[in-house]
């Protein structure tokens, strides 16, 4: 009897110790965030391309860790927070790799390369497409260049019933297309970037955009911005402005300030105090330099 009592006591101790050792999904997420922030700070201390490459590779580890939490604990409130952090990690990894590709010839770093982008799409479509907490995830996707996010944003626009999700997904779609157009234009000026973008975003990335065509991409982008203009009651999260205000600003730039468009009229004083209009210099090469004193 004493032996049985001792065995039960030891089993109870082991079970208690085991439960104490297992972190909750929220605790595991917070630990990953702490590690992620440490790596983020290392970026500012990176002095060489070699150092930046090493940090960029470390960023790529975090998306999978966040998505593992969201996958295993899809009903836990932390799941959507973890997915948003995964999108942030993907965007950051890609951004670091793109920065190295554009400014350091001869150096290549892959972007997010473990399938996490498609995994984000799959998890949201499986578990969270109708959630009223999807808006921050959609908003974060507007910083991306990844074509995999496009069908997810379209699905959120069509199926999610919540207006803030709809509005932010619409703006994110427009800006995702805008980002892709930027890369296509940059690659047309610098053919060396075609291979580099393929390394970051997947083989044939620029070829895919070129098959769509610049005119068609601009048309799709303009249509997406026009749809976003109706959301004057939805806040564009990072800048505290409305989705409509941001969309109107982007449309104005697209229609009046982008390459190949006729510049709008400008009036003012030159450095000698003489009044002038931009049209006074029609047919000449003009450099406009804006500055302000406080």
152 and 241 together in one domain: yes
138 and 255 together in one domain: yes
Domain assignment present for residue 292? The answer is no
Residue where one domain finishes, among candidates 128, 157, 172: 128
Q: What is the tally of structural domains in the chain? A: 2
Question: Is 74 in contact with 123 (CB distance < 8 Å)?
Answer: yes
The alpha-carbon radius of gyration of the chain (Å, integer) is 25
User: Residue 106: its pLDDT value, please?
Assistant: 63
**pTM strictly above 0.85:** no
Q: How many helices (H) and strands (E) does the chain have?
A: 12, 4
Domain assignment present for residue 66? The answer is yes
User: Residue 11: its pLDDT value, please?
Assistant: 47
Domain assignment present for residue 213? The answer is yes
Residue where one domain finishes, among candidates 97, 128, 159: 128
Domain assignment present for residue 290? The answer is no
Assigned token pair, 293: 């004193």
Half-sphere exposure of 37 (CA within 13 A, CB side): 6
122 and 136 together in one domain: no
Quick check: helix, strand or coil at residue 275?
strand
User: Residue 8: its pLDDT value, please?
Assistant: 44
User: Residue 290: its pLDDT value, please?
Assistant: 65
123 and 183 together in one domain: no
Domain assignment present for residue 16? The answer is no
Domain assignment present for residue 10? The answer is no
116 and 147 together in one domain: no
102 and 201 together in one domain: no
DSSP β-bridge partners for residue 277: 267
User: Residue 201: its pLDDT value, please?
Assistant: 87
Element holding 79 (H helix, E strand): helix 78-103
166 and 231 together in one domain: yes
The residues near 277 (Cβ < 8 Å, ≥ 6 apart) are 265, 266, 267
113 and 138 together in one domain: no
Residue where one domain finishes, among candidates 62, 94, 128: 128
User: Residue 281: its pLDDT value, please?
Assistant: 80
Domain assignment present for residue 112? The answer is yes
120 and 142 together in one domain: no
The one-digit pLDDT tens for each residue of the chain (294 residues) are 445 444 444 444 454 444 467 899 999 999 999 999 988 887 677 777 777 777 777 777 899 999 999 999 999 999 999 999 999 999 988 887 777 777 766 665 666 667 899 999 999 999 999 999 999 999 999 999 999 999 999 999 999 999 999 999 999 999 999 999 999 999 999 898 888 888 888 888 999 999 999 999 999 999 999 999 999 999 877 767 899 999 999 998 888 777 666 777 778 877 788 888 888 788 788 777 766 555
User: Residue 110: its pLDDT value, please?
Assistant: 64
Cβ neighbours of 231 (radius 10 Å): 22
66 and 175 together in one domain: no
159 and 238 together in one domain: yes
**Residue 100 sits in which domain range?**
23-128
Domain assignment present for residue 205? The answer is yes
155 and 187 together in one domain: yes
């Amino acid at each position: 009897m004493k032996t049985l009592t001792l065995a039960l006591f030891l089993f109870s101790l082991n079970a208690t110790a085991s439960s104490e050792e297992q972190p909750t999904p929220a605790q595991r997420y917070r630990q990953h965030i702490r590690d992620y922030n440490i790596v983020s700070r290392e970026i500012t201390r990176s002095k060489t391309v070699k150092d930046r490459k090493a940090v960029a590779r470390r960023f790529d580890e975090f998306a999978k860790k966040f998505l593992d939490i969201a996958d295993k604990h899809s009903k836990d409130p932390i799941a959507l927070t973890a997915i948003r952090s995964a999108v942030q990690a993907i965007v950051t990894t890609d951004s670091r790799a793109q920065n190295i590709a554009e400014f350091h010839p001869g150096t290549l770093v892959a972007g997010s390369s473990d399938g996490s982008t498609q995994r984000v799409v799959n998890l949201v479509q499986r578990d969270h497409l109708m959630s009223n907490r999807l808006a921050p995830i959609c908003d974060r996707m507007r910083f991306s260049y990844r074509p995999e996010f496009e069908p997810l944003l379209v699905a959120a626009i069509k199926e999610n019933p919540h207006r803030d999700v709809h509005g932010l997904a619409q703006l994110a779609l427009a800006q995702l297309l805008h980002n892709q157009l930027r890369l296509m234009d940059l690659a047309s000026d610098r053919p060396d970037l075609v291979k580099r973008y393929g390394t970051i975003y997947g083989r044939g990335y620029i070829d895919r955009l070129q098959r769509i065509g610049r005119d068609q991409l601009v048309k799709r982008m303009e249509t997406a911005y026009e749809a976003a203009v109706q959301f004057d009651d939805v806040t564009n999260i990072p800048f505290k402005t409305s989705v409509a205000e941001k969309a109107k600003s982007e449309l104005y730039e697209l229609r009046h300030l982008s390459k190949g468009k006729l510049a709008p009229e400008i009036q003012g004083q030159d450095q000698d105090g003489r009044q002038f209009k931009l049209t006074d210099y029609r047919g000449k090469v003009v450099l406009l330099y804006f500055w302000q004193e406080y």
